[in-house]
Amino acid sequence: MERRKERIDRGIKVRAGDVFALCSWREMLYLLAPRLIPVLGFLLLPLILDNYWQKVLLSVAAFALLAISWDILAQSGMISLGQALFFGLGAYCSGVLTHVFGWPPLLALPVAALLGGLLSTLCLLPVLRLRGVYFSMVTLIIPLMLVRVVEATKIFGGTEGLSGIAPLPSKWIELYLIVGALLAALFGFRRMLDSDYGLVLKAIKDNDRSVINAGINIYWFKAQALFIASSLAALTGAFMTHVYMFVGMPVFALDYSILPIAAAVVGGPGTLAGATVGAVILVPLSEVLRGIGGLRIVFYGLFLVVFIVALPEGIFHYIQRKYHQFERWVEVQ
Amino acid sequence: MGAGPLLALKALYKNFGGILAINDLSFELAQGELLGLIGPNGSGKTTAVNLITGFVKPSSGAVVYRGRTISGLPPYAIVRLGISRTFQMVKPFYQLPAYKNMIIPLCSPRVKQMAGGRYGDRDAVALDLLEEVGFERDAQVAYKSAAVLPQGYLKRLELAKAIALKPDVVILDELFSGLSLAEVASIVPIIERLRQEGKSIIMIEHRLKELFRIADRVVVLNFGQKIAEGRAEAVMASDAVKKAYLGVEA
Ligand SMILES: Nc1ncnc2c1ncn2[C@@H]1O[C@H](COP(=O)(O)OP(=O)(O)O)[C@@H](O)[C@H]1O
Ligand SMILES: [Mg+2]
């Protein structure tokens, strides 16, 4: 006699497909909880946390945004190794707009997001036709090149960077701006990926020939996805410029490229929620590990490997499955 | 334009790094015609389709559609002019239900243009199109994931994706390969219906018996060259075809 595990959708999940079948508050709660918990969590945390952990929360939200941006690109068939490019361009745009042109930060932010997204898209437009690792290599190289350009031309403060940049009006505006941006991006772009438009993007990743064969200009769609994703990352960069009140060469650092990928992979790519969960776990973990000094990166790396081996589907997919299905052992002959 | 052919291949050559896959190929497709394109494996049939649809650029020669040279246009632009094709290797989106696979072609600018500027309810149109190609509506086959559908349905899905684009020319690359006789018999009426609607069709087939029953004319390729052209019986009687295609010494 053999045993195998059987997974069955919870009845409520099946019925929840049809809105009219919902009758009790329990069922409503079952549906709403996955949305309510992150929303309430992110909105309430700034009120509960102390100063230090508020900064960590800010960092979580920033990396979650970078990871969401990475995931949007990955869903459209573009594996970016250069989130730092988008982040850095946004950071410099906002820094220059406020420092050189004297714009108020709240106006500079959205403009820097769009401008940074536009510049990033223009940077990568010539290589949009490259596939797979060839595209990725270019995204990896460009931010490294830009660092040297800033250094050699001494543009925008050169190696010194621009400091004394105007901060956002208050700590609370800062916190709720980034948390609000994260929630809006998470739910908004999840919706986008579930729409027919998102289906086309995902189809380009799976089988671009079949999409071209539908008379669709995939390069136009990829450029749009690139603009959306890079604007999001540029917004994050612009935001951090005002948090640090500084912009300089470190904005193109590898950390901004690698950590978002780690977050998206650990959390589970393809849902944006996974990318967020990944950032929520990895960023505080990195803070906690700060205490152990030199071996920090080793522990961090070990944690990553264990997670990826143990839960290759990603944490979010795992939680989602547990939430919607129950398992039981059945006997098979 | 008037009496000219709908589609014409003019002295096409295609060189793949030394391999001459298409060698001086010319033929025409008339409005409303069903043309069979046959030849042994590797004779260049799929390459000819790729040349027409723009997936491959010719080394020299031209493809002319409605009097306009289309070789050199990107493939998506050629589709928008009304030429759609199926792929020999079906590659559906396996994780999606069959009808969601139809959303991609239904997002095509061609669909909007043909429907007078609007897309309509894509899910409903998808279900209608799938019913047309034999997805039984009662059995809810259209809602099944493409991963569990048998080959026969995947080929129909491929056909439905091509039809969704409201094409004037449909090119079917070995639609019948891998299908049972019964499955082929159930798809033939769909193709005949397309013809009655006035569509012009190029059919690449190895199933000669089924092809000859519906084709007006066939073109035979061997080593990238056209070795015969005409009505099916006449072509198959020619010595060159017997020798090249059937491996029979005349
Ligand atoms: N993209 C390509 N690159 C190199 N050679 C190719 C390519 N496509 C086809 N060929 C070659 O061209 C020849 C014709 O192939 P194909 O058109 O697929 O034949 P058929 O469809 O008639 O079986 C073959 O020798 C094949 O190897
Ligand atoms: Mg072929």
Question: What is residue A3's predicted lDDT score, i.e. its pLDDT?
Answer: 77
Q: Please choose, from the candidates B166, B208, B169, B162, the residue with its C-alpha nearest in 3D space to the C-alpha of residue B36.
A: B208
Tokens of B239: 């010595």
Query: Which residues neighbour A101 within 8 Å (Cβ) at sequence distance 6 or greater?
Result: none
Report whether pLDDT(A293) > 60: yes
CATH architecture of B7-82+167-244: 3-Layer(aba) Sandwich (3.40)
Report whether pLDDT(A210) > 90: yes
Question: What is residue B250's predicted lDDT score, i.e. its pLDDT?
Answer: 43
> Rounded to whole angstroms, how far apart are CA atoms A25 and A117?
43
Q: CB within 5 A of ion ligand 2: which residues?
A: B 46, 88
Chain B residues within 8 A of A196 when measuring between CB atoms: 103, 106-107, 122
> Rounded to whole angstroms, how far apart are CA atoms A109 and B41?
60
Question: What is residue A13's predicted lDDT score, i.e. its pLDDT?
Answer: 65
H or E, element range at B38: strand B34-38
Question: What is residue A153's predicted lDDT score, i.e. its pLDDT?
Answer: 94
The number of the ligand 1 atom at minimal distance from the alpha carbon of B14 is 12
Q: Is the ipTM of this complex over 0.95?
A: no
Residues facing residue A309 across a β-bridge: none
Q: How far is B75 from chain A (nearest CA, A)?
A: 7
Q: Each residue of A300-315: pLDDT tens digit?
A: 888 888 888 888 889 9
Report whether pLDDT(A331) > 90: no
Kindly list the domain boundaries of chain B, sorted by start residue. 7-82+167-244
Instruction: Output B235-244 pairs: Cβ under 8 A, ≥24 positions apart.
Output: B236/B208, B236/B212, B244/B39, B244/B40, B244/B220
Angle at B205 between CA B204 and CA B206, to 5 degrees: 145
Report whether pLDDT(A143) > 50: yes
Rg (CA), chain A: 21
Q: Each residue of B164-199: pLDDT tens digit?
A: 999 999 999 999 998 999 999 999 999 999 999 999
> Chain B residue closest to A206 (CA)?
B93
> Is the Cβ pair B108, A214 closer than 8 Å?
yes
Computed over every residue of chain B, the mean pLDDT equals 92
Asked whether the beta carbons of B39 and B245 are under 8 A apart, the reply is yes
Asked whether the beta carbons of A112 and A94 are under 8 A apart, the reply is yes
Kindly list the domain boundaries of chain A, sorted by start residue. 3-331
CATH class of the region A3-331: mainly alpha
Angle at B90 between CA B84 and CA B91, to 5 degrees: 100
Asked whether the beta carbons of B227 and B37 are under 8 A apart, the reply is no
Candidates A76, A207, A212, A213, partner chain B, best to mutate (most B CBs within 10 A) = A213
> Is the Cβ pair A196, B122 closer than 8 Å?
yes
> Rounded to whole angstroms, how far apart are CA atoms A61 and A49?
14
Provide the phi-psi class of B158: left if phi over 0, else alpha when psi is between -120 and 50, else beta.
Answer: alpha
Q: Please choose, from the candidates A242, A88, A107, A101, the residue with its C-alpha nearest in 3D space to the C-alpha of residue A163.
A: A242
Q: Please choose, from the candidates B85, B100, B174, the residue with its C-alpha nearest in 3D space to the C-alpha of residue B135.
A: B100
Chain A residues within 8 A of B55 when measuring between CB atoms: 209, 212
Classify residue B73 by its DSSP letter. Answer: B
Q: CB neighbours (10 Å) of residue A329?
A: 8
Chain A residues within 8 A of B85 when measuring between CB atoms: 213
Q: Each residue of A147-184: pLDDT tens digit?
A: 999 999 999 999 999 999 999 999 999 999 999 999 99
Average pLDDT over residues A243-255: 95
Low-confidence residues in chain B, pLDDT < 50:
1, 250
Q: Each residue of B206-219: pLDDT tens digit?
A: 888 889 999 999 99
Chain B residues within 8 A of A200 when measuring between CB atoms: 103-104, 107
| DSSP letters for A122-191 | HHHGGGTT--HHHHHHHHHHHHHHHHHHHHHH-GGGGGG-EESPPPPS-HHHHHHHHHHHHHHHHHHHHH
- Residue A311, SS3 per DSSP: coil
Candidates B49, B104, B163, B168, partner chain A, best to mutate (most A CBs within 10 A) = B104
Alpha helices, DSSP H only, in B5-150?
45-53, 75-80, 98-101, 103-106, 109-114, 122-132
Q: How far is B82 from chain A (nearest CA, A)?
A: 9
Asked whether the beta carbons of A280 and A121 are under 8 A apart, the reply is no
Question: What is residue B117's predicted lDDT score, i.e. its pLDDT?
Answer: 83
Looking at all shown ligands, the one closest to residue B57's CA atom is: 1
Report whether pLDDT(A142) > 80: yes
Classify residue A2 by its DSSP letter. Answer: E
Q: CB neighbours (10 Å) of residue A59?
A: 19
Q: Which amino acid is at A8?
A: I
Tokens of A176: 């709720």
Tokens of A26: 């329990």
